[in-house]
Chains A and B, each alone.
Chain A
Amino acid sequence: MTALPTLPAAPDAPAAQDAPARRSHGGRVEPVHYLFLVPTLVVFTAFVVVPALIGIFYSLTDYVGFGEWSFLGVRNYAALFSDPRILESYGFTLGFALVTVVVAQVVALALAVALTRRIRFATTLRTVFVIPMVVAGIVVAYVFNFLFSNSLPALATAVGFGPLEESILGNPDLAWLSIVIVSAWQTIPGALLVYTAGLTSVPNELYEASALDGASPWRQFRSITLPLVAGFVLINTILGVKGYLGVYDVIVGLTGGGPGTATSSVAMTIFGGFTGGDYAYQMANATVFLLVTALISVAQIVATRGRAVRL
């Protein structure tokens, strides 16, 4: 599972509540509390932060993964911006993330709204919709690979629909669609559960009162449902986009980045640096990728700040 679907209250929430009373140095810290925290900080630093710093360091050199190296300054970075292969991978990855997050969120919200209405077998239906969450993306991609390359063309030929008679996986203009479909298929359940949780917290009286006032279902959705689940939309979108930007497993299982380099994500290009001899260059790419991911996350938080309504 690449995209984790949930996130609790804002990380700075504890500060907001405790802040006025005891901001800086309230009380004595029991030494054993350091013992609880410091080992985690140490392994986290060793396994995540140090590799990140090493990578950023080498991005300023001509290191090839082994042997000697010398400083290049920002030449790797300058080269990135005129490398069509790199620009293409960013174009593909950003476009893919944008399309997939919209598709997945719209479908998940629609399903959640439908599942929280008065329908029969609601629990059973929800159980089925959540299944994709528990299976490995790579295996799902292999299954869909077969469907896209064998069953879909067979079906299209049978009904005489020309454009789909050839596998879409081999079509440079359509292959990306297969990745959107499988990624959305896999990540909709997580978003669906978050929305369902959000929707069940909306009291029914609100809908009943607005129905009495003559509000149409669409008006109810726009004026009641949407503002109340806005916070959940934010959570889903941030974590969804982060997951989609790092897309890898699904592409490996569907297209391997092809045809040509039509569906090569940034992650795939970076991993190529380990075998391709351009280690330092791909570390510069990875550093830019980190900045892009962080910027997009921050932009999302800023853009949606204060839009959510709480009852």
Chain B
Amino acid sequence: MTTVETPLRRRRGLHRTNRLLTVLLALATLTVLAPLYVTVSMAFKTSEQSADGNAFSLPAPLNPASFAEAWQLTRFPVAFGVSVGVAALAVLLTLLLSSLAAYAIARNWAHRFFRWSMIYLLVALFLPFPVVALPQIQLTALTGLDNPVGVGILHAMFQLSFSVLLYTAYLRSIPIELEESARIDGASTPQIFWRIVLPLLGPMNATVGIFAFLASWNDFMMPSLITSDPALQTLPVVQNIFQSQFGTDYNVAFASYLMAMAPTIVVYLLAQRWVISGVTQGAVKH
């Protein structure tokens, strides 16, 4: 930076913070915050107040009883447990299958079988779930997988292409010399994978894991179509009871929506630096 440049820049406002832009952006956050505010305030209203049509009014009096009712109606602990199980299975399967596959593909790129396998797996990147939904509903019913286990497996399957793509790109940036020196020390390939490659994949594991988790945890389409027993539905799916039987008790419905939304929002706010860098990692991995 030279002394000639500095006054010029200052005159053009390049080094000052842009107040107007800050204010405009703050106003724009209302598009995100207003629906969240409505969810919270509706959840704490009484049935009478929630029916008056004014979504933006503060709850008066404050009524926390809706949460207990929503908890029971949706059988929250069961739905939450099923959601956790489905997401955990989806994330674990995605991490395991795609990291192993990507490692084999990246290290044997010279071989036709591995190159073609990559292309084969990438097909699903352009395959929307509705295309295969009807046969999948039949096949899962036939094989006894019309339950949360089947949903977890299918979530992992639709995450594979994208995850293998991320892993192979990342693996190419890891020097092969590390593995070779371990091999000279007598380590087997599985040992090398577990002890050296997998730890080195750390940042990409986080990225793949976050995407797999969000896709699975927030999905409505697959569990609602695949799981045949309504008692084993995930948290997003059980919210549909408020669309029919309990149509007017908005306070209970919103208490339930809030309980469904809160876990990921809280985790995100606590770990936002980590989540954002994880997601961004997927974008800039050239």
Contact = CB atoms under 8 A, between A and B. Distances in A.
Interface of A: 1, 4-9, 11, 13-15, 18, 22-27, 29-30, 32-34, 36-37, 39-41, 43-44, 47-52, 54-55, 58, 65, 111, 114-115, 117-121, 125-140, 142-144, 146-147, 150-151, 154, 185, 190, 193-194, 196-198, 201, 207-208, 211-212, 232, 235, 242, 245-246, 248-249, 252, 266-267, 270-271, 273-274, 279, 282-283, 286-287, 289-290, 293-294, 297
Contacts of B137: 274
Given A25-B111, A136-B217, 9 more contacts: A9-B285, A47-B157, A48-B158, A54-B135, A118-B15, A139-B260, A143-B35, A266-B130, A267-B130
Interface string B43-72: 000000000011110000000000000000
A290 B128 contact: yes
Interface of B: 5, 8-9, 12, 14-19, 21-22, 24-26, 28-29, 31-33, 35-36, 38-39, 42, 53-56, 97-98, 100-101, 103-115, 117-139, 153-154, 157-158, 160, 162, 164-166, 168-170, 172, 188-190, 193, 211, 214-215, 217-221, 225, 235-237, 239-240, 242-243, 250, 253-254, 257, 260-261, 264-265, 267-269, 272, 275-276, 279-280, 282-286
Nearest to B167: A8
Nearest to A273: B134
A245 B129 CA distance: 11
B18 A197 contact: no
Contacts of B158: 48
Contact of A55 (B5, B131, B190): B131
A111 B279 CA distance: 17
Nearest to A252: B220
Contacts of B189: 30, 32-33
A119 B126 contact: no
Given A40-B101, A51-B135, A117-B18, A146 B55 contact: yes
Contacts of B282: 5-8
Contact of B260 (A58, A133, A136, A248): A136
Contacts of A201: 284
Nearest to B204: A8
Given A139-B260, A232-B283, A8 B165 contact: yes
Contacts of B55: 146-147, 150-151, 154
A1 B218 contact: yes
Contacts of B257: 139, 142-143
Counting chain B CB atoms within 10 Å of each CB, which of A6, A133, A294 scores highest?
A: A6
B276 A18 contact: no
Contacts of A118: 14-18
12 contacts: A6-B282, A32-B189, A48-B124, A119-B25, A127-B276, A128-B33, A129-B32, A131-B268, A143-B254, A194-B283, A242-B126, A270-B130
Q: Which 6 residue pairs spanning A and B have beta carbons closest together?
A: A26-B110, A51-B135, A136-B218, A246-B128, A267-B130, A6-B282
Contacts of A129: 28-29, 32
A51 B119 CA distance: 19
Nearest to A54: B135
B111 A29 contact: yes
B70 to A, nearest CB: 12
A37 B235 CA distance: 34
Given A24-B110, A135-B218, A135-B261, A271 B133 contact: yes
A8 B133 CA distance: 28
Nearest to B54: A154
A4 B105 contact: no
Nearest to A266: B130
Given A32-B190, A232-B283, A289 B131 contact: yes
Contacts of B160: 40, 44
B243 to A, nearest CB: 7
Contact of A133 (B126, B166, B214): B214
A130 B272 contact: yes
Contact of A115 (B25, B39, B97): B25
B130 A289 contact: yes
Given A5-B283, A125-B29, A129-B29, A282 B242 contact: no
A52 B135 contact: yes
Contacts of B279: 5-6, 133, 190, 193
